[in-house]
Amino acid sequence: MQALVRCVARYGLDGASLSQIAKEAGLTRPLIRHHLGNRDELITTLQDYVLKSFSDQSDALVAGLPASGKSRHLIDLLFSDMNQTSPDMVLAFAALTARAVEDASLRRACREALLAFETTIAAILRADFPNVDAAKVNTAAHGIVALYFNATSLAPLDMPNVWKTQAEQAARALFNGLEQEP
């Protein structure tokens, strides 16, 4: 599965061939074909794997937050160098979303995964800021999620450290805006 994700991240869904996946995995093409099936099965397998990985990671992230002040720690974890999100996984998710234009079921599954992550972030923020207008909390959650996905997906470009720092600072500014609400 990791070889599939790496190949899709590098070559896109259409460019990731069974031969490339086999080479990346150190296996034979027939063995990859046996495990991943045809092109449609490959996409379904990738979809299930990537979306489950994001869900599992989101659950682990929430479970790892302290009992109080979760929002501040959430931003620390999201933008930490220790964050376990693989840029390849984010790029594989992006490849799936590009394919979702022509596949309503895939579009629905990707949208639900992303909205579930944003809902999780919003719930953490709402717990820390119960008196702030829900629309403002949801806007902050949306911004934090967008900054996180952008910074993670562009990591393969080896952006300057200041670039990642600025993304984190922008996320903190959204958080600080909630702190300053009456």
* Each residue's pLDDT tens digit, 12-28: 988 888 889 999 999 99
Q: Is residue 84 scored above 70 in pLDDT?
A: no
DSSP string, 66-130: -SS-HHHHHHHHHTSTT----HHHHHHHHHHHHHGGG-HHHHHHHHHHHHHHHHHHHHHHHHH-T
State what percent of residues in the chain have pLDDT above 90.
Answer: 53
Question: What is the Cβ-side half-sphere exposure of residue 135, based on CA atoms within 13 angstroms?
Answer: 0
Residue 140 domain flag:
yes
Structure confidence at residue 130 as a pLDDT band (50, 70, 90): very high
Total number of domains constituting the chain: 1
Structure confidence at residue 83 as a pLDDT band (50, 70, 90): low
Structure confidence at residue 54 as a pLDDT band (50, 70, 90): confident
Question: What is the Cβ-side half-sphere exposure of residue 155, based on CA atoms within 13 angstroms?
Answer: 20
Q: Is residue 48 scored above 90 in pLDDT?
A: yes
Residue 104 domain flag:
yes
CA distances from 125 to 6, 148, 150, 157 (A): 33, 15, 20, 30
Q: In sequence order, which residues have a C-beta less than 8 Å from that of residue 163 and are 6 or more positions away?
A: 151
- Distance separating alpha carbons of residues 32 and 163, to the nearest angstrom: 38
Residue 31 domain flag:
no
- Distance separating alpha carbons of residues 40 and 166, to the nearest angstrom: 39
Residue 90 domain flag:
yes
Residues of the domain holding 170 = 47-179
Residue 26 domain flag:
no
Q: What is the mean pLDDT of residues 158-175?
A: 90
Residue 58 domain flag:
yes
Q: At what angle do helices 87-99 and 104-128 cross, to 10 degrees?
A: 130
CA distances from 63 to 57, 106, 111, 163 (A): 10, 28, 23, 28
pLDDT of residue 14: 87
Q: In sequence order, which residues have a C-beta less than 8 Å from that of residue 180 and are 6 or more positions away?
A: none
pLDDT of residue 156: 76
State what percent of residues in the chain have pLDDT above 70.
Answer: 97
Residue 59 domain flag:
yes
Residue 77 domain flag:
yes
Q: Is residue 170 scored above 60 in pLDDT?
A: yes
